[in-house]
Amino acid sequence: MKAVLVTGANGFVGHHLVRELAQNDIQVTAVGGPQIKATQSQGVHQYLTLDLRDPESSQKIDFSSVDGVIHLAGLASIVPSFEKPMDYISTNIGIETNLFEAALKQNVTPRFLVISSGMLYDPKAALPLTEASAVDPSSPYAVSKIGQEQMAHYYGYRGFECVVARPFNHIGPGQNLGFVVPDLTKQVVDFKNGLVKEVLVGNLDAKRDYTDVRDIVRAYRLMLEKGAAGATYNVCSGRALSGHDILDGILQAAGVDPVIKEDPSRMRPSDNPLIYGNHDKITAAIGWQPEMAIEATLVDVVADWQSRKT
């Protein structure tokens, strides 16, 4: 793989992915939305500001200049999908469809890695979750991801080699607010800087499978290069951590011991108290397994927030 197109290159995962590809001597064409400043990530050969929801905009990509596509662009937060289900369905499935159709119109079929989600499994499925576990979406976001998988399957019949990734929770430096780790870390850093007197939390009992984003993007690179066409792979740690575990790691990394107070406005009942996956399939297929300890990840996350101006 010599040249790769990355959509959603300005996002949390996109920045890390561009760096991972560049460090492995892969030329990157990066695509970001018109509402976001063009990324300055090292290793970008070409940056395109495009609204991929528009089919004509997608045609501006020269698919003949890349060997593969890693498709990250789309709506990624679960909670807002309940309020705007049609936005999630039309955006996430529509962007992917536009990309495939644009490539077809150019008579080229680069290899595609489509990013799905580990959140589409049946909450009642036995643990750990494998790729063979039952799928039963519990949010419009999850429905949109199943739609993306099905479109990838369809375009396999149109001549594309498509691989599907099902990543579980991923964390690391550069992640913005709206997710549990950055939300907690910002408060802890604010406490350390004397800006707040306590840390407010919601439900920390739920246990989830967390992987460092730098391990995640390494998996994406290897999947695009070596994953079996038509295959789906979990990308996860195989280990469950509660919100309490995460907060303890953040506090230890920051070296503080603030008052922790439950905030009713942050409380959301968990429909599933325990979720974790199994990564045996991807390990056997391409040799990937997580390398970074989450404790070390949280040290980097705290350092990242301490370095931010806001």
Domain range summary for the chain, segments of one domain joined by +: 3-170+210-235, 175-208+239-276+292-307
Give every CB contact of residue 236 below 8 A, 6+ residues apart in sequence: 118, 167, 168, 209, 211, 276, 277, 278, 279, 290
Mean pLDDT of 265-285: 85
CATH number for the domain whose boundaries are 175-208+239-276+292-307 = 3.90.25.10
Sign of CA pseudo-dihedral 123, 236, 223, 9 = positive
pLDDT in tens, 95-128: 999 999 999 999 999 999 999 999 999 999 999 9
pLDDT in tens, 54-97: 999 999 999 999 999 999 999 998 889 999 999 999 999 999 99
Across the strands, what pairs with 211?
170
**Pairwise CA distance, residues 72 & 33, whole Å:** 12
Q: Is the pLDDT of residue 280 over 70?
A: yes
| CA angle, residues 67, 69, 70, in degrees to nearest 5 | 140
Confidence of residue 310 (pLDDT cuts 50, 70, 90): low
Q: Do 3-170+210-235 and 175-208+239-276+292-307 fold alike per CATH?
A: no
pLDDT in tens, 212-227: 999 999 999 999 999 9
pLDDT in tens, 15-37: 999 999 999 999 999 998 765 55
Confidence of residue 263 (pLDDT cuts 50, 70, 90): confident
Question: Kind of pairing, strands 207-212 and 240-242?
Answer: antiparallel
Give CATH superfamily name and number for 3-170+210-235.
Answer: NAD(P)-binding Rossmann-like Domain (3.40.50.720)
pLDDT above 70: percentage of residues in the chain: 95
Instruction: State pTM to two decimals.
Output: 0.95
